[in-house]
Structure 1
Amino acid sequence: MPSATDTLAPVEPPRPLGRPEPRPGVLAIEAYVPGKSAVPPGVTPYKLSSNENPFGASPKALEAAQAALGKLALYPDGAATALRAAIARKYGLDAKRIVVGNGSDELLEMLAQAYIGPGDEGVFSAHGFLVYRIAILTAGGTPVVAPERAYTTDVDAILERVTPRTKVVFLANPNNPTGTYLPFDEIRRLHAALPPSVLLVLDAAYAEYVRRNDYGSGLELALTAENVVMTRTFSKVYGLAALRLGWMVGPAHVVDALERIRPPFNVNSAALAAGAAAIEDEAFVAASVAHNEAWAEILVREIEALGLAVTPSVANFLMIHFPETPGRTATEADAFLTARGLVLRRIESYGLPNALRLSIGTEAANRLVIAALSDFLAGRDPEARDA
């Protein structure tokens, strides 16, 4: 059974009288804060805070999006026919089992709205994606947090917190912001132990980057089980973050439920066109993944050589740990790096105040990060970039 600390009961401020007020639970939601991008004036910025593709988007996707801009007076295809067909071809799916969203975030929110209500619970891991908590609270449910083991999702901890009130289990694999993953055998074990009435949501936003033989995105389970869905995004390896595009595959009955609440025309025409082109540009994806794999190894080696710990990651980002020693903390490192134009992600909102998340960037950005961390740990002036 969950302990008192596992269940995140909403806490709301007092409500004044005489004006419209949101329903109970809304004011208990802490708004999602995205990775920052601002740097001091005159400093070249390197945004490494949002896990974006350093190569941008596929030229084919850019061309398709540009062509779509010539039809701005027309509504987009509300059924996302061409994109769903492209996804179906890529993965050998039935297009009728695919739902397209305004980013995978919208799909996560729709899943919560469809399956969670007041008195229901949604479970996720301690350092899981912040949107899970927001989606559960928005739906009127109660978030339940399962502790992790070595910054990795703990299947047994999740199962211990499943009760008759549990409706959804959200699991990011790989997880953001830790970069860790569960082997597919562990995903199978989790699914096998869940009651059939509990929906398992496998968030595979970073699946394209994983190069481990024991990893599985969850596609197989989503196609064969009645209580599993898998979500994916075009924001990461495909470089379409600005267009907000994601997709989900799952059982026909879950797809039917989401289609009933999905906003009409929820995805714009440029996103639909760019997504259909991007998913077929395998050469661009392969180059992006190869760059990421090579630089992940280099960055880990060089950062650890400086004396900092790095959590092993299979995604396109690294979680770097800093000591609590004054002058060497994550907060001070963030300020130092920002002064150099290097914007990393503070992750105290994930319960990780002593770490920063570094998106793997271009070669130039990666080398600047290594040099800046070396200077920071040596106590040098952050503005002495040419020293």
Structure 2
Amino acid sequence: MTDGNTVNRPVARPGVMAIAPYVPGKSKGSRVRTYHKLSSNETPLGPSPKAVEAYKTAASHLELYPDGSTAELREAIAGAMGINPAQIICGNGSDDLLGMITHAYIGEGDETIFTEHGFLMYRIVTLAAGGTPVVIPETDKKADVDAILAAVTPRTKIVFLANPNNPTGTYLPQSEVRRLHAGLPKNVVLVLDAAYAEYVRRNDYEAGIELVGQSENVIMTRTFSKVHGLAALRVGWAYGPEHMIDALNRIRGPFNINAPGLAAATAAIKDRAFLEAAVDHNAKWLPWLTEAFTELGIEVTPSVGNFLLLNFPEGSGLTAEAADLFLLEEGIVLRRLEPYNLPNALRMSIGSEEANRATVDALARFMKGGGEQAAHG
């Protein structure tokens, strides 16, 4: 029996059910057995063979708990990056770390700031912590430092900056990131989400290591899911001031990375030759695809990541929705971007040569009139 003040099942705290859950990109095409999945920014080269071997070795001891301190992986990361292992924390993907950072520094009434096409998880972790997301317009699909700084209030506790940004592929140069940091109050955390840092080949780019080393309020997050090809294992890491790492270690789960994941990630970051091969593959196909799509009449936002933002011409009837339907019939899976407020754009991961050429060929047919048939057929 219930009265007017009780309900007959548990109720989530206010705000939880208002969170739009994260929806990943589709995995398969339509009506075909062979498909090219280019919706999740996965590397076409897969993981390092050394990482696979380390995974298999660890899998023979699944009865044992993993190393809760992640000492070996932190030492490997520190060696590869030239940083202090005591300033590194590892997590179940960088999503886990973004959640930890937010829970550590955001409470009811606090605000986080991020840009309008920023990673969807920034909103989710903010709302989950009881905070208020403040979304800032971009300029030419790029973060606007002046607009971000103008939005800072006494309630601001975190600024999230994906650099490079997903899904646009744009980035801020080191000088602009440092200008952003200099303009923030000392008690505001600047989170530099550098998930795609390894792919960037620009002399004016810096992932955040130097700024973290010189600051008390900057933390950089990274992932093994992209260039290292370990997306299935969910391993990420962050580098920050020791006082911030100490705070995060107090709230993280005691065994928040599985043992095969730890082993594979440790081997992966030591395999520099394989990483460089993945970066070289991306460096070859990123400009090739950009030029090919531009010639088809599709506007491509300049990207420094392992993906492209394809903007379809307005008013032509050749919409992103129609293109997506057409490509799915061809067994090609790209990412729809309505959740990012980019309804007439698709995001394409840089794939294998076969996948890249197949996508260009399919979109060439679509742009010549095949889209109308797909949209109405």
How far has the Cα of 1:326 moved from its partner? 5.7
CA distance in structure 2 between the partners assigned to 1:224 and 1:16 by the alignment: 53
**Preserved CA contact (<8 Å) 1:339 1:382:** no
Q: What residue in structure 2 maps to residue 30 of structure 1?
A: 20
How far, CA to CA, are the matches of 2:51 and 2:372 in structure 1?
38
Structure 1 position 200 matched with structure 2 position 190: yes
Aligned length in residues: 370
- Kindly provide the amino acid, as one letter, of the partner of residue 374 in structure 1: A
For the Cα contact (< 8 Å) 2:191–2:218, is it kept in 1? yes
Question: Offset at 1:324?
Answer: 3.5
In the TM superposition, residue 94 of structure 1 has moved relative to its aligned partner by: 1.3
Render the CA deviation track for 1:279-304: whole Å, top value 9, x for unaligned: 01111111111110110111010100
* Alpha-carbon shift at residue 383 of structure 1 (Å): 10
Q: Deviations over 1:128-174 (max 9, x none)?
A: 00000001000000000111000000001110111000000000000
Query: TM-score if structure 1 supplies the norm length?
Result: 0.94
- Identify the residue that residue 249 of structure 2 maps to in structure 1: 259
How many Å apart are 1:308 and its aligned residue?
0.8
Please tell me whether the aligned partners of residues 223 and 249 of structure 1 are also in contact (alpha carbons under 8 angstroms): no
Identity of aligned residues (%): 60
Residue 339, structure 1, aligned to residue 325, structure 2: no
Gaps of 5+ in 1: 1-14
Aligned amino acid, residue 52 of structure 1: E
Corresponding residue of 2:74: 84
Q: Is 2:299–2:313's contact at 8 Å kept on the other side of the alignment? A: no
| Letter paired with 1:74 | L
- Cα shift at 1:18: 2.6
Is residue 44 of structure 1 aligned with residue 34 of structure 2? yes
Cα distance in 2 for partners of 1:322, 1:247 equals 36
Q: Is the contact between residue 337 and residue 382 of structure 1 (CA under 8 Å) also seen in structure 2?
A: no
- 8 Å CA contact 1:43, 1:340 repeated in 2: no
Q: Return the offset for 1:16.
A: 9.5
Q: Secondary structure at the match of 2:250?
A: helix
What secondary structure is seen at the aligned counterpart in 2 of 1:100?
strand
Say which is worse superposed, 90-99 or 38-47, in terms of deviation. Answer: 38-47
**Would you say 1:310 and 2:307 are equivalent positions?**
no
- Alignment-mate amino acid for residue 114 of structure 2: F
Which of these residues, 98, 106, 113, is aligned with residue 96 of structure 2?
Answer: 106
Change (3 A) 1:381 1:91: closer
**Which letter maps to 1:303?**
F
Where does residue 55 of structure 2 map in the other structure? 65
| Mapped partners of 2:115, 2:282: distance in 1 | 26
Residue 232 of structure 2: aligned partner: 242
Deviations 1:77-109 (A, max 9, x none): 000111000001111111111000000000000
1:282 counterpart = 2:269: no
Partner SS for 1:78: coil
Once the two structures are superposed, what CA deviation does each residue of 1:169-217 show, in whole Å capped at 9, x if it has no partner? Answer: 0000000000000000000000001000000000000000000000000
TM-score by length of structure 2 reads 0.96
Contact 2:149 2:183 in 1 (8 A): yes
| Cα distance between partner residues in 2 of 1:57 and 1:383 | 39
Q: Is the 8 A contact 1:340 1:382 kept in 2?
A: no
1:71 partner SS: coil
2:142 to 149, 152, 160: 152
2:131 corresponds in structure 1 to: 141
RMSD over equivalenced CA pairs, Å: 1.5
SS at match of 2:346: strand
**Residues in 1 aligned to 2:143 and 2:322: alpha-carbon distance in whole angstroms:** 29
